[in-house]
Chain A
Amino acid sequence: MTLFIWVLVFCCFLCLYRVGAGPTPPDRTVAIDILGTLVVGICTIWAVIKGKDFYINIAIAWALLSFIGTITLAKYLEGKGFDE
């Protein structure tokens, strides 16, 4: 089971490579968006390993906040206000 965690952590490092190397700001934003989704997966597998369901709560909260953060960054890239 821990193998899955290591696979996902390796994926996180690939994302971090893109965050560091991405030539434009939108590339980094995409990588951060994916990073959020991967963390949801890590939390889920951790919940299954430990058999405690509050890790899933963390996953849900992380998914929500990651979505809001991505939308905010996208709006910032458009160069427009947040209240449209």
Chain B
Amino acid sequence: MSETVGIIFFIIGGLFDLFGCIGLVRLPDIYNRLQAATKCVTLGTCFILFGAFFWSGFSAMGIKALLCAAFILITSPTAAHALARGSHIFGVKLWEKSLMDKYAEDEEGRLSGGKVEKA
């Protein structure tokens, strides 16, 4: 469709990927790193895929890129939930300067970790 729009989307996507990876290195504990992973890197890659769509228009490549973007937008938060819950049950503590941890305080949340209804 338009190559300029595609390039702009590529630049935004690449920058957000870079910010996400810097966050992965800098942030103090796993839950904060997951924040950077699910937000910056997901949206950065989605922007790159949208850029491919704007570059090539309604061709095979553009439609596949759109499908892939939708797929990533659905699966990435799901993987983040699974990883956050898994690491909490695994026993990773929050960063020592964290303000509160209601999940560890609530006995029911800790005990019923695996058996509750899946959402």
Chains A and B touch (C-beta atoms under 8 A apart): yes
In the bound complex, CA of A67 to CA of B79 (Å): 7
A29 contacts B83, C-beta separation under 8 Å: yes
Give 1 or 0 for each of A20-56: 1 = CB within 8 Å of chain B CB. Answer: 0000111101110110011011001101100001001
B89 contacts A79, C-beta separation under 8 Å: yes
Given contacts A30-B24, A38-B17, A40-B68, contact A78 B113 (CB under 8 A): yes
In the bound complex, CA of A8 to CA of B51 (Å): 15
In the bound complex, CA of A37 to CA of B73 (Å): 11
A60 contacts B10, C-beta separation under 8 Å: no
Give 1 or 0 for each of B42-85: 1 = CB within 8 Å of chain A CB. Answer: 10110011011001100111001101100110011011001101
Smallest Cβ-Cβ distance to A24: which chain B residue: B92
Give 1 or 0 for each of A58-71: 1 = CB within 8 Å of chain B CB. Answer: 01100110010011
How close is B31's CB to chain A, nearest CB, in angstroms? 9
In the bound complex, CA of A34 to CA of B72 (Å): 12
- Chain A interface residue count, Cβ-Cβ cutoff 8 angstroms: 45
Interface SS, A side: helix
In the bound complex, CA of A7 to CA of B44 (Å): 12
Q: Which of A15, A57, A60, A74 has the most CB of B within 10 A?
A: A74
Question: A residues bordering B, Cβ < 8 Å?
Answer: 4, 7-8, 10-11, 14-15, 17-18, 24-27, 29-31, 33-34, 37-38, 40-41, 44-45, 47-48, 53, 56-57, 59-60, 63-64, 67, 70-71, 73-80, 84
Besides the contacts A14-B22, A63-B75, A67-B75, what 5 more A-B pairs have beta carbons closer than 8 Å?
Answer: A18-B33, A30-B83, A37-B37, A70-B82, A74-B83
Question: B residues bordering A, Cβ < 8 Å?
Answer: 6, 10-11, 13-14, 17-18, 20-22, 24-25, 30, 33-34, 37, 41-42, 44-45, 48-49, 51-52, 55-56, 59-61, 64-65, 67-68, 71-72, 75-76, 78-79, 82-83, 85-87, 89-90, 92, 113-114, 118
